[in-house]
Amino acid sequence: MLEKLLDLLQPGSPKEIEDARKNSLVMLTTAREMFHMAINAIDAESPYSVRAQLARMDKQINREQLELRQRVTRHLKQAKRRQLLEGLQLVSISLDLERMGDYIKGIGELVDMLPGKLTFGKYEREWATLKSIVIELFDLTKAALLESDERKGSLAIRQYHTVSKTSEEILRRIFEEYGGQESIPRWCLGVSLILLYIHRVAAHLKNVCSAVVNPFHRIGFSA
């Protein structure tokens, strides 16, 4: 099981690991800002394209990941056996955060391609619930990392399963109702793709939390 991540910021902790951990938190915070921006673009006919801004923020996440890898590499060259695991855990976390940025950028690209405001039709209430849960999932993930809180990490993982179940249920109902028709309403295509992206964003947040809850070899898997 992951030792307390806060130990990395205590006096005597390797500076490279301390700085690499800060990189991971910047990545997570940037991804959350991107998610808010993408969701706002979905819910309102934005007067400007968010695509370019999300692309710039995604590049920032990529830069943070590169710095994190460089710092972990320097750390591993000098680390003692116990400290090796800390570096590997941070690299694993950074991979999920980088992929999450790509999916959120994809949401912005999709919104930019669709003419007019995207509506969720009869699923507007489910969409509102889904957004709220994912935003809470971001906050729980950050708290779990900052506080090395296994309870919050476990709660975040349970929240992911709610996101997964809700998004899959909406998709199932859409396909049951419209899958056999030659002409599918425009909103169905947009909503389906958005739900798939949202599902993947939540899955990567779940993977990050699993680094707090699980031993290294089970990061990304259920406890």
For residue 36, is it within any domain?
Answer: yes
Flag whether 126 is in a domain.
Answer: yes
pLDDT digits (tens, 9 = 90+) for 38-86: 998 888 755 467 888 999 999 999 999 999 999 988 888 777 665 677 7
Please report, for the domain that includes residue 66, its CATH number.
1.20.58.220
Quote the number of domains for the chain: 1
User: Is residue 99, in this structure, part of any structural domain at all?
Assistant: yes
Q: What's the pLDDT score for residue 15?
A: 84
Residue 128, domain member (yes or no): yes
Answer whether residue 223 is part of any domain: no
What one-character-per-residue DSSP string does 10-52 give? STTS-HHHHHHHHHHHHHHHHHHHHHHHHHHHHHTT-SS-SHH
Tell me the pLDDT tens digit for each residue of 146-179: 888 999 999 999 999 999 999 999 999 988 888 7
Taking CA atoms, 130 is separated from 66, 73, 106, in Å, by 32, 38, 18
Structural domain that includes position 101: 5-218
